[in-house]
């Protein structure tokens, strides 16, 4: 299926706008989140990214291996930054089991805005690059998703460590036989 031309700017900016709104609501204030709900966001972001990659493939066809390599390279770049974000996020258990409080994280929103912004810029300012521009854009999506997943893995481990520390029984004092 060949595209008749570039999509209107509003259609290209729609995914960026949706991500900015979601991230602004979620990350600019401390959040109380269940462990189950924490993993829902990366799943939704994967579906959104898949939709964006598919739409980009319609406009700028690229070989599958090139898209896969771009996403893989982007993901490998996002993992260390996600680990850093997870290490620097305040995590504490809530009063209910399976629920935690996460400190606010404007850096997550910034990563997604930059990733989608670079992707949009590459496709808009350099449309003649064809599949290479699409691959760079897809790599930015891989970066952003790997960033979130890696940070949530670290956050989950911190949460489990907090729970383990809270449930550890204190040592029993030794009795003194006198």
Which two tokens mark 35?
């462990």
Nearest to 108 by CA among 6, 9, 172, 25: 25
Question: Mean pLDDT throughout 38-57?
Answer: 81
Contacts of 7 (CB under 8 A, 6+ apart): 55, 59
For residue 1, give the 3-state DSSP assignment: coil
Average pLDDT, the chain: 78
Predicted local confidence at residue 150, as pLDDT: 93
At 95-125, the pLDDT tens digits run: 888 899 888 777 767 776 777 777 677 767 7
Beta strands in 113-159 (DSSP E): none
140, 119 in Cβ contact below 8 A?
Answer: yes
pLDDT band per the 50, 70, 90 thresholds, residue 168: confident
Give the length of the chain: 178
Sign of CA dihedral 134, 138, 141, 143: negative
Predicted local confidence at residue 158, as pLDDT: 93
Q: Any idea where the domains of the chain sit in the sequence?
A: 12-163
Top-confidence residue, 6 or 150: 150
Predicted local confidence at residue 31, as pLDDT: 82
Question: Mean pLDDT throughout 143-171?
Answer: 86
Nearest to 158 by CA among 56, 75, 85: 85
Range with the largest mean pLDDT of 2-16, 18-32, 48-62, 96-110: 96-110
- % of the chain residues with pLDDT over 90: 10
pLDDT band per the 50, 70, 90 thresholds, residue 1: very low
CA 103 to chain CA mean position, Å? 16
Lowest mean pLDDT across 22-26, 38-42, 73-77: 22-26
Nearest to 131 by CA among 68, 53, 74, 57: 57
Give this prediction's pTM: 0.69
Which two tokens mark 81?
């930054």
131, 62 in Cβ contact below 8 A?
Answer: yes
CA atoms within 13 A on the CB side of 49: 27
Predicted local confidence at residue 105, as pLDDT: 72
């Amino acid at each position: 299926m060949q595209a008749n031309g570039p999509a209107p700017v509003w259609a290209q900016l729609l995914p960026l706008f949706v991500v900015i709104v979601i991230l602004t609501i979620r990350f600019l204030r401390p959040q109380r989140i269940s462990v189950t709900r924490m993993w829902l966001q990366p799943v939704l972001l994967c579906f959104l990214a898949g939709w964006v990659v598919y739409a980009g493939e319609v406009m700028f066809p690229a070989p599958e291996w090139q898209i896969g390599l771009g996403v893989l390279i982007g993901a490998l770049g996002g993992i260390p930054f996600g680990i850093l974000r997870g290490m620097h996020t305040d995590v504490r258990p809530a009063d209910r089991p399976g629920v935690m409080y996460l400190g606010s994280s404007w850096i997550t929103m910034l990563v997604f805005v930059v990733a989608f912004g670079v992707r949009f810029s590459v496709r808009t300012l350099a449309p003649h690059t064809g599949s290479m521009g699409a691959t760079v854009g897809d790599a930015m999506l891989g970066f952003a998703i790997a960033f979130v997943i890696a940070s949530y893995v670290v956050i989950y481990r911190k949460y489990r460590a907090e729970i383990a520390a809270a449930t550890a029984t204190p040592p029993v004092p030794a009795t003194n036989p006198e």
